[in-house]
Chain A
Amino acid sequence: MKTPVTLEQAQLRTRRVLLIGGVLATAWILLPLYFLLINAFSSPETVSQFPKAYWPEGNTESMAFLLGFQGVISALINSLAVAAMTMVISIFLGAPAGYAIARYDFPGKTSFRMLIMLTRAFPLPLLALPLLALPLAVFFIRHGIDDTLWGLAMVHSMLALPFAVLITYSLFSGVPVELEEAAWVFGCNKWQAFTRVVMPLAAPGLAASAVFAFVISWNEVFAAAVLTIENRTLTAFLLQSLNTSPVYLKFAGGALLVVPATIFMFLIRKHLFAMWGISNR
């Protein structure tokens, strides 16, 4: 019988695999992003050149040209506006629902919660969103309200809502009801108790939920492309100008899409991990 691998050898092997695997996987994720940034921060001439350099020129001409390009600034503003509206709508609709599920036992609670859970497990909104955009487009067109920012914001809110409800549900569940009850005993009404006791504790999570809704809206492509013509968002603009725009525009635009979203996601990563159920081991 051959000598078995010792504990130490096995541990060494694991450590080596983890190191190599970890480095490879990290490079795999980060390198493409880096390439985008190289292109985005090179002059428009460099971007079309071959071969490419392996580090950025540090030239902001492309970005400047992007922002000066016809329609980009308004597209940017539109994206911001839609994302902000999505953020507001999804929090104002989702948080009360999350609170209700966390605090109250009412008939229909289980089925309501199941519905929300289902939309996360079998993401009907995700599935339907592309499909949604169509009838909504028709619906909006028929009622003369297509190509509006708030119309798009509503569609995006549909996408962000399940997450908003779920995050706020777990958030409010984490605030012991005894704290609110104590506030009631000491003279606060429900609203005051909520704003003075629950809100401060839940605020970071609520903010994270809002930021996530923002990012979802900011990144969304299909509905934005279908539903906006005059009031295009950044994603719609970039998609529809793919064939006609100069090369540097694509990459500068891509960077403009990526950088804010990545920064926001970094800021709220702990809350995202909590939402996805990835605990610290």
Chain B
Amino acid sequence: MSREYETVIGLEVHVELATKTKIFCGCKTDFGGAPNTHTCPICTGMPGALPILNKKVVEYAMAVGIATNCEITKYSKFDRKNYFYPDNPQNYQISQLYLPICRNGKVEIEVGGVKKEIGIHEIHMEEDAGKLVHDEWEDVSIVDYNRSGVPLIEIVSEPDMRSADEVIAYLEKLRQTIQYLGASDCKLNEGSMRADVNISVRKIGQKEFGTRTEMKNLNSFKAISHAIEGETERQIELLEMNREVIQETRRWDDNKESSKSMRSKEDAKDYRYFPDPDLPPICIPDEWIQKVKDNQPELREEKLERYKKDYDISEYDASLITESKHLADLFEETTAICNKPKRVVNFILGELLRLLKEKEMDDSDISFSPENFAKLIELVDSGVVNSTVSKQVFGEIFENNVDPEVYIKENNLMVVNDDGELEKVIEEVISANPKSVEDYKAGKKKAIGFLVGQTMKAMQGKANPGKVNQILTEKLQ
């Protein structure tokens, strides 16, 4: 990027709320399910049906607003956004334009050790649309209304971000906060968190914003990063050629790693927003806000402090483990059973993160039980298995949630504590490696490491390395 320019970025983030039922009816929000099975007259827009607001949606929206330092609008309203498309059975979406539930918030992000505040313009509640499926074989389009009426919140930031890194940090922060609240699982790849990115560039020092474009269809952090970089470059190139940036909506193509214009401002639809007459205003008394505040679960910052204090783990480890609610939950549940917080932390930050990365999995995909994990920790702690074997067993727990006790027994992985057998093997190792023995005796104390390794290998990893070291040292005196 040219040094003369800076990128100005604002985000519209849609988050699907984790309510059991839809925003305006009692239908389930579960994923999957045969098409149009989680539907009723309300969420399919049948004539005469009316919406009834799900209170839990308001509470989740308030909880997110409180956690992001927003003001809660005490007199909030739903508006209709009118547009024709078959995925929307009423041909209007119930959303909030004039009086959104939360306004004027902010979150703190950290990029490269520098802290920064990102303003939140507003958070509003709305309903999701159904899903259109184009059957090219039959040349028809069919629609599934299972998602119609699933509750969403849209979090609109101020144009406070200046780089892709800040955007990712902001999104991570939102995701972490919302996951901690239990308001959503925030999975980008499954669409329970979606971000539209507004981008403009301007000369450094310039006060006015440049003309912005809106980027849609961003399904991963990687796509978001690349789209921001690409769009920044495109806009700078235009300006350098003395051409204008056109205000438009662009669609990101993940395969081509480039974006294409969807519609310009001139084609922008007039949504004819107006207050929905079927839904009375939402009046939120102070007591309700207080109740939501009181019920707010422990957020990351509090958790981090508690971990340092209660479990005596380092600031660094605590910060890593609380980065994700899933990891923090796993840590707490496992520690509650085995009471070995440090060992649990080491396993999570070491082996677990390695496996997640290797298998390209999200920590929300972790499916093994804390019980089996805790059992393994105890088996390691009591010396039944050594650390080498424990990694292998953990891999099995991670993949198949095996009971480590059973697995270790079946595969005969216990540490051999029979000194006789161990001494026999050690003597064989000593006689097979005279060079190393000589080196050791000549004062190269490090040579013993090789001999320990050879012994462990011969024991198929099932020996206690401490013990091996001790016997070897005695024998080489």
Q: Do A and B come from one complex?
A: no
